[in-house]
Amino acid sequence: MSSSKLLLELKKSAGTVPELVLPLGNPVEALLRPIATDVDKINKTDVRLLSEWRNRFVKSFLTEFHSHDERTTSWLVQSVAEDPGKIMFMIDTLDGISIGHVGLGFINWQTGYVEADAIVRGRNARKGLMKEALQLLLRWADASLGLNDAWVRVRSDNSAVMFYQKVGFVEQKRIPLSKRISNDSCIWFEDNDAEENAPALVYMKYMHS
Ligand SMILES: CC(C)(COP(=O)(O)OP(=O)(O)OC[C@H]1O[C@@H](n2cnc3c(N)ncnc32)[C@H](O)[C@@H]1OP(=O)(O)O)[C@@H](O)C(=O)NCCC(=O)NCCS
């Protein structure tokens, strides 16, 4: 099976009992579980947490909007499920409490390009757990999917830039951002004519350890 097919199948088969989990830590401390995207298998708790955390960290992302369960469900069922270059994992403790999520996006199956996507800690966790969860995901993407050119794009006004440095990403370039405000959202886009003090989009490349 090709790697892109594997990703689609993983999303489709993910449900109450996922087909695959990535164990984190030795001894195992948490599990990375693919978030279900099939309309019949959607996990309502995942949806509620995704919406709640998206609202809590609204300014961390390029598109700012108010999230709610219905919107999150359609995004999972339509956008994430159908996108061959995207998958998200919940990070669950061994007693089943979800503490955050990590994802892969913008995959180019020809070149091996991948981006760390939707990295959020929503509950208290041991310091370093999010770093290790993302490193595990990137190792899996490299070893199992052949995605060895990993990047992240992050707003310069998000202190997560320093988190990504600790994970092993190194800044390559910055592009200024401008924002477009519509009825219910604010979208940041790359704009070389942006205002002088505007935030930028920081491109960081992962240096595999
Ligand atoms: C970014 C985020 C996932 C980091 O979670 P976390 O639980 O703090 O991460 P970790 O404990 O694994 O941190 C790993 C290292 O990064 C450092 N770090 C994490 N966040 C940091 C920050 N905001 N500023 C400076 N350093 C930071 C930690 O101190 C730790 O350093 P150490 O290795 O020297 O101990 C979390 O802050 C979050 O969910 N932010 C909101 C969502 C967001 O902005 N996501 C990124 C969107 S692009």
Task: Return the half-sphere exposure (C-beta side, CA atoms, 13 A cut-off) of residue 135.
Answer: 17
Q: Does residue 65 contact residue 58 with C-beta atoms inside 8 Å? A: yes
Strand partners, 114: 150
CATH of domain 3-151: 3.40.630.30
User: pLDDT per residue over 46-74, tens digit each?
Assistant: 999 999 999 999 999 999 999 999 999 99
**Residue ID of nearest Cα to ligand 1 atom 48:** 154
Distance CA 146, CA 143 (A): 6
In this predicted structure, the answer to whether residue 13 has a pLDDT above a threshold of 90 is no
Ligand 1 surroundings by CB, under 6 angstroms:
57, 60, 119-121, 125, 127-131, 154, 158-160, 162-163, 166
User: pLDDT per residue over 87-117, tens digit each?
Assistant: 999 999 999 999 999 999 999 999 999 999 9
pTM greater than the 0.85 cutoff: yes
Q: Does residue 161 contact residue 152 with C-beta atoms inside 8 Å? A: no
Maximum Cα–Cα distance for the chain, whole Å? 51
Residues listed for the chain: 209
Instruction: Say what percent of the chain tops pLDDT 90.
Output: 88
Domain ranges of the chain: 3-151
